[in-house]
Structures are given as C-alpha cells and as structure tokens.
Amino acid sequence: MRSDLAMFFDDFFSRGLSATSNLTYPPVNVYKTDSDVVLEMAVAGFKKDELTVEFDGQRLTVEGKKTSQSTSDRTWITRELSSRSFIRSFAISGQFEPEQPTLVDGVLTIVLKGTNTKRSLPILEGPSSTPLLEG
C-alpha cells in the first residue's frame, strides 16, 4: 500500500498544477522534513500586498498580481526582470494543512504541516462473549 506522502507528491507533480497556471513561473522548490512538506516560491519583485495565498481544504492557490508601474519615462535597452502576474495551484492531500506563509528576501515559504501521522493503535480486549460483528 502506498504512503500518503508518496500519493501527495504524485498528485503534486502530475495533477497539482492548475490548467490555467504557467507551469514554470514562478519557480518552486518543494522538500520534505520528518512530518511536513515545505514549498518555497521565488517571487522576487512582488510586495506582500501583491501576493495572496488561499487554501480551500484540497487546493492551495498562490496568486501574484503586479500593480501597474509607470515606466513610460524610460527607454529600455534590455528588460529581463519579469513583472507579470501569475497563479499557481497545487492539490494538497488531506494529510497536510498549510501554516501562515512567510515572505523573506523574495522567497515565499509555505509549510504544509503533517496533520495525520501514522501510529499503531492498540487493540483492547473485550469480553469473550461479545461478537465483533453483529448481524
């Protein structure tokens, strides 16, 4: 039987990205710790108020909306810094719950806390005359 974490990563990389999102922008790193999954998204140039993170229980959506910047007074020679808006969505297993996102040095970090840890459940002994299933 496959682990919930393995299914999360399969879902994350195969079906997790919405059809309307750009699959490579902004770039994302994903790594796991003992019980959590950490998503790091490079959003250099975006201010905190230009980013939104929403979670509906199954899908995590990160959106960046650039406010219009007047650059009509400039004559561009080269313009490589991206100023485009984006939406990226990720399917999240019920095993994970996102914590408050942080934005530090142009990297948006979202920790997906593991909420369903596997553990052994003891079997309690009952009276020998009690059937397990009635019917």
pLDDT in tens, 45-76: 889 999 999 999 889 999 999 876 656 688 88
What pLDDT is recorded for position 29?
94
User: What is the spatial distance between Cα 121 and Cα 129, in angstroms, rounded to a whole number?
Assistant: 23
Tokens 């979202």 belong to 110
pTM for this predicted structure: 0.65
> Does the pLDDT at position 16 exceed 50?
no
Strands 28-32 and 102-104: unpaired
Tokens 């309690």 belong to 124
Choice between 11 and 127, residue whose per-residue pLDDT is larger: 127
What average pLDDT does the structure give for the chain? 76
Q: What is the mean pLDDT of residues 92-108?
A: 89
Contact (Cβ atoms closer than 8 angstroms) between residue 46 and residue 69: no
Residue 135, both tokens: 């019917």
Residue 102 CA to its chain's centroid (Å)? 13
Question: DSSP letter at 95?
Answer: T
User: What is the spatial distance between Cα 112 and Cα 92, in angstroms, rounded to a whole number?
Assistant: 9
Closest by CA position to 31, among listed 55, 65, 63, 5: 5
Q: Computed over its alpha carbons, how large is the radius of gyration of the chain?
A: 22
